[in-house]
């Protein structure tokens, strides 16, 4: 790896007004996964890519976008199977309950890691699309893909309550210096119900067995009931503008693409990937890699994901995962760290993503990836998944700083 020297930051040559881009896309209301607003935003982005000078195309796909109904179904089925396991005889009843619970847990794990989808595939699918723009070079040594999702989230009245979420984040920051892993309790609850079912199959009677398994089942069931209620709350909610999450990332990618058209990379193909259905648990990115996996070389392809960069402190993620936390690319992290240490971006921090972003999808499939995000003092994205996520609350200086940081990573990567 060549040396990254300190000094004056290379300025972005793009004159694109990123805040105006954010406002323009926000005008497409109800921009949720597979919704009409998402489709209109995709058409707008294709035109903007072509205006800049990229070779652009819309890539349609069909997917089940309603993760909240998918996960609600997982919780309800697990609860029902736990109740079935109370029938300890004949033996096949608790054994079958344990086997089906294992299937539900496997399905939930596969969905959260995006590696495979089981129960989700039983839910009806609807049309969505990714928007892809390319800038090619002759004899490229690398392929750099800059990613941002343009769809907007659906929120409930309780689950994404900004005051409650901020208090929870503050507690975990103070006590553990981490963000909470909200999905892990559900996985543990399902595993406990499997253990309960197996215990009732092996020891079908006895006061001690029933007391012990009853307590464990009660705790696990309470977790699943709370989770089911949370997913139902989201399902019956409404879509928010999604200015910070994630039109700040989209606007940054537009600006980066404009700069790279004016000042092309020397050794790398460049792709601007605007994904749909990220708020459906990254299904747009899943479909993109599924479509292009044969042409993407894991050793030469780099994904730089821009996520929610509209307030707080710019950070680069060192790892990510709903379940297993996986480290991001050592090569990309090394570039980011050296840009911080040499004084170009001294304020940039590090972050461990315990939810899911588009960066996780290529990561778990063996590609080199990194996510750039901005969080406040409690490790929360400002105005996360709430009605106040509007253009007026975007700190565009943070967006510009994150764009410049991403652009420097791209330039250094191209030179190596």
Q: What is the pTM of this model?
A: 0.93
Q: Give the chain's mean pLDDT.
A: 94
Bridge partners, residue 128, by sequence: 61
Question: Which sign, positive or negative, has the C-alpha torsion 285, 108, 360, 148?
Answer: positive
> Topology of 18-66+127-156+240-415 in CATH?
Aminopeptidase (3.40.630)
Parse the chain into domains and list their residue ranges.
18-66+127-156+240-415, 69-122+181-235
> 319-361: per-residue pLDDT in tens?
999 888 999 999 999 999 999 999 999 999 999 998 899 999 9
Q: How far is the C-alpha of 307 from the C-alpha of 333, rounded, in Å?
A: 16
For residue 55, report the phi and psi dihedrals to the nearest 5 degrees: -85, 105
The percentage of the chain sitting over the pLDDT mark of 70, rounded to a whole number, equals 98
User: 2: how many CB neighbours lie within 10 A of its CB?
Assistant: 7
The percentage of the chain sitting over the pLDDT mark of 90, rounded to a whole number, equals 85
pLDDT of residue 1: 43
pLDDT of residue 166: 87
């Amino acid at each position: 790896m060549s040396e990254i020297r300190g000094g004056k930051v290379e300025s972005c040559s793009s004159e694109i007004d990123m805040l105006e881009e954010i406002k323009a896309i926000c005008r497409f209301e109800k921009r949720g996964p597979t919704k009409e607003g998402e489709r209109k935003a995709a058409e707008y982005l294709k035109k903007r890519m072509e205006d800049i000078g990229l070779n652009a195309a819309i890539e349609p796909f069909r997917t089940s976008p309603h993760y909240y109904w998918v996960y609600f179904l997982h919780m309800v089925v697990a609860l029902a199977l736990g109740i079935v396991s109370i029938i300890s005889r004949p033996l096949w009843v608790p054994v079958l309950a344990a086997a089906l619970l294992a299937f539900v847990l496997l399905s939930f794990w596969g969905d959260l890691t995006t590696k495979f989808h089981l129960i989700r595939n039983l839910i009806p699918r609807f049309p969505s699309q990714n928007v892809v723009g390319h800038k090619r070079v002759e004899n490229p040594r690398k392929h750099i893909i800059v990613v941002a999702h343009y769809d907007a989230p659906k929120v409930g009245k309780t689950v994404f309550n900004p005051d409650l979420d901020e208090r929870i984040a503050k507690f975990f920051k103070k006590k553990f210096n981490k963000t909470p892993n909200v999905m892990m309790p559900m996985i543990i609850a399902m595993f406990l119900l499997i253990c309960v079912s197996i215990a009732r199959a092996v020891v079908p009677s006895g006061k001690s067995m029933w007391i012990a398994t009853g307590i464990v089942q009660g705790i696990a069931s309470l977790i699943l009931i709370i989770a089911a209620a949370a997913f139902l709350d989201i399902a019956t909610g409404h879509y928010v503008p999604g200015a910070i999450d994630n039109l700040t990332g989209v606007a940054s990618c537009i600006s980066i693409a404009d700069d790279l058209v004016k000042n092309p990379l020397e050794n790398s193909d460049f792709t601007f990937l605007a994904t749909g259905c990220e708020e459906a648990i990254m299904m747009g990115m899943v479909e993109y890699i599924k479509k292009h996996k044969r042409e993407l070389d894991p050793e030469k392809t780099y994904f730089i994901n821009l996520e929610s960069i509209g307030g707080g402190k710019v950070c680069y993620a060192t790892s990510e995962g709903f379940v297993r936390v996986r480290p991001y690319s050592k090569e990309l992290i090394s570039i980011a760290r050296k840009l911080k240490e040499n004084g170009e971006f001294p304020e940039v921090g590090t972050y461990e993503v315990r939810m899911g972003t588009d960066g996780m999808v290529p990561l778990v499939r063996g590609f080199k990836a990194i996510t750039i995000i901005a969080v406040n003092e409690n490790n929360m994205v400002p105005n996360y998944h709430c009605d106040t996520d509007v253009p007026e609350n975007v700190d565009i200086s943070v967006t510009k700083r994150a764009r410049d940081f991403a652009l420097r990573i791209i330039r250094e990567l191209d030179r190596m």
